[in-house]
Amino acid sequence: MDKDGTIYYKNDSCYLMALETNGAYLDSVTARPDTGSVNWDKRFQASETEYTLRVAENAKNVTLSFKAPAGCTMKIGNDTIDGTYVADVSSGKAEIKIAVVQGTKSREYTFHLTKDHGNSSLTSMIVSTSNTYGEVSHYLSMTPAFNSAKTGYTVEYLDSKAENTQRFLRVYVEKAESDATVKTEIVKGVRKVTTTTSGNATRFNVYWEDNVDEAQVKITVTAKAGSKTEYLLTIQRKEKVSTPTPTPTEVPEVFGPWQTISTATVFAPEQQRRTSNKGRQETRTVGSKLTPTIKLNARSIRLKKKQSTTKVQVSGLAAGDRVQSWTTSNKKVATVTSRGKITAKKTGKARIIITLVSGKKAVVNVTVQKTAVKTTKISGLKKSVVLKRRQKLKLKPVISPLTSVEKVTYKTSNKKVATVSSRGVITAKKKGTAKITVKSGKKTYTVTVKVK
């Protein structure tokens, strides 16, 4: 039996023949990070069970999508998954073990997720005229001084100086990571580059072309994990002739228009900013903070004992303000929830106080009675309307008091001219006149409908 659970036997010709195969495996795996890309250490194959996936430094999670043959189940830990798993890599790494099970057979895959892309930097770079690394007196001064975080360097080996007789220079570099590779590439002014490597150290002989101002080579360090750093070395062969820098003409500073960066609220006035052509910014405060305001659709309501309502509505709040709380002055008479649902408990009077975050308050007076709340008035409707054939109009009557429990009904005097639904939608049928009666309890209101 191999590590995948396949059983073999040896036939008379000494060949291994499979008796039973392991049908528990993954068909495919995809990985999608929330940012950046994913680098696999190798291409996914069903027979390979361990992989390393490298993600971007700023990635927080990676969504893994698994597919397995029909009849297989997939588990991560004790949890059965449907094929998708989100791995948290905010700590820098994660290890996902997924088991694929089919009957008595199983196969486990391991996915190592990491933000470590390896170290692709150099620990030193020395340019010398000597074949011997240790001859410090032959080292050439490099600008800037070597620092692994800096990637551009220049050395002077001017052909105008009599002592500079060599036709090439030696560049000694050491890599930070032993498994990293170091390669050179000619950029300009170089005939050839030869390479000698010993352990972590590499020596390049850089041969420049005749009569060039400068020679350049690019040194590329690639970590085993995939990260890459490129260093550019310039060998200066001729004196640079500096060009006088003209004295710049002073440009006057001019500011652009003021722009609003935050509008006024009940807590702060409007803030504006403007930017000059030199990048300088100025801010200012305009006006003052807003005065808190609040509107209610009712200042007093009546409720029958045990009746609840959410019909008290708050509006007209100034920018930045909101309802902080609903409270009652007498919980024995009426209670109120944080969302404004008022419930009558027993007969009596109570005050519902609505408080805004700005401190502004409004009060609704509640009277709890034994009898049902009846309609006293119907308003909000026109006396007459004109409609075209097949035109619709929804009636929106205002019932007073708003806590009335009496149902609103609609009735037409002539269904051939105009009909009305139980929700108050009028439909014009044919030319003529019909009267729509709106009724709630003992109160009625008539709307005359003329169909053209």
Give the pair of three-digit tokens for residue 120: 């692709």
Q: Looking at 114, 135, 167, which one is the last position of a domain?
A: 114
pLDDT digits (tens, 9 = 90+) for 370-429: 999 999 999 999 999 999 999 999 999 999 999 999 999 999 999 999 999 999 999 999
Q: In this model, does residue 266 exceed pLDDT 90?
A: yes
Q: In this model, does residue 288 exceed pLDDT 50?
A: yes
For residue 62, what are the CA distances in angstroms to 29, 84, 86, 114, 424?
12, 10, 6, 11, 54
Q: How far apart are CA 230 and CA 233, in angstroms?
A: 10
What percentage of the chain reaches a pLDDT higher than 90? 73
Decide if 254 is inside a domain: no
Decide if 110 is inside a domain: yes
Q: Looking at 79, 114, 149, which one is the last position of a domain?
A: 114
Does residue 145 sit in the same domain as residue 231? yes
| 175, 177, 181, 184: CA torsion to nearest 10 | -20
236-264 average pLDDT score: 86
Give the pair of three-digit tokens for residue 441: 């309890």
Which of 31-35, 79-83, 221-225 has the lowest average pLDDT? Answer: 221-225
Nearest to 223 by CA among 186, 183, 185: 183
Better-predicted residue by pLDDT, 285 or 7? 285
Q: In this model, does residue 1 exceed pLDDT 70?
A: no
Q: Are strands 79-81 and 61-67 parallel, antiparallel or unpaired?
A: unpaired
- DSSP designation for 139: B
Does residue 311 sit in the same domain as residue 274? no
228-236: strand order across its sheet:
142-143, 152-156, 228-236, 214-222, 181-188
Domain of residue 227, residue span: 122-236
Mean pLDDT of the chain: 91
Q: What is the DSSP string of 62-105?
A: EEEEEE--TT-EEEETTEEESSEEEEE-TTSEEEEEEEEEETTE
Q: How far apart are CA 405 and CA 301, in angstroms?
A: 12
Does residue 24 sit in the same domain as residue 64? yes
Confidence of residue 367 (pLDDT cuts 50, 70, 90): very high
pLDDT digits (tens, 9 = 90+) for 16-51: 554 557 889 999 999 999 998 888 888 999 989 999
pLDDT value at position 15?
55
Q: In this model, does residue 118 exceed pLDDT 80?
A: no
Number of domains in the chain: 5
Task: List the CATH number of the domain containing 347.
Answer: 2.60.40.1080
Q: How far apart are CA 65 and CA 84, in angstroms?
A: 5
Decide if 275 is inside a domain: yes
Through-space distance between the first and last CA atoms of the chain, rounded to whole angstroms: 91
Does residue 107 sit in the same domain as residue 42? yes
Decide if 245 is inside a domain: no
* Cβ contact 449:384 at 8 Å: yes
Does residue 85 sit in the same domain as residue 11? yes
For residue 431, what are the CA distances in angstroms to 125, 320, 339, 386?
98, 52, 48, 11
How deeply is 355 buried, as exposed, middle or buried, from its count of CB atoms within 10 A (0-12, 13-18, 19+)? middle
pLDDT value at position 307?
97
pLDDT value at position 357?
96
Task: List the CATH number of the domain containing 109.
Answer: 2.60.40
Does residue 97 sit in the same domain as residue 155? no
Does residue 221 sit in the same domain as residue 139? yes
Choose the most confident range, by mean pLDDT, from 15-19, 133-137, 163-167, 303-307: 303-307
The residues near 43 (Cβ < 8 Å, ≥ 6 apart) are: none
Does residue 130 sit in the same domain as residue 230? yes
Does residue 15 sit in the same domain as residue 109? yes
Does residue 131 sit in the same domain as residue 81? no
Confidence of residue 245 (pLDDT cuts 50, 70, 90): confident
Task: List the CATH number of the domain containing 222.
Answer: 2.60.40.10
Which of 38-42, 212-216, 314-318, 330-334 has the lowest average pLDDT? Answer: 38-42
Give the other-Cβ count within 10 Å of 67's Cβ: 12
Q: How far apart are CA 427 and CA 299, in angstroms?
A: 36
pLDDT value at position 399?
95
322-328 average pLDDT score: 97
For residue 177, what are the CA distances in angstroms to 202, 218, 223, 227, 441?
13, 19, 7, 11, 89
Decide if 51 is inside a domain: yes
For residue 189, what are the CA distances in angstroms to 143, 183, 383?
19, 18, 96
Cis ω before 401 (30° cut-off from 0): yes
Q: How far apart are CA 235 and CA 167, in angstroms?
A: 12
Residue 160 has phi, psi (to 5 degrees) of -80, -15
Decide if 248 is inside a domain: no
pLDDT digits (tens, 9 = 90+) for 147-200: 888 999 999 988 888 778 888 999 999 988 888 889 999 999 999 999 988 877
Does residue 230 sit in the same domain as residue 198? yes
265 residue type, one letter: T
Chain centre to alpha carbon of residue 405: 48
Cis ω before 144 (30° cut-off from 0): yes
Decide if 308 is inside a domain: yes
Q: Is the dihedral of CA 368, 374, 379, 385 positive or negative?
A: positive
Decide if 200 is inside a domain: yes
pLDDT value at position 197?
85
Does residue 58 sit in the same domain as residue 13? yes
Confidence of residue 443 (pLDDT cuts 50, 70, 90): very high
Q: How far apart are CA 108 and CA 24, in angstroms?
A: 9
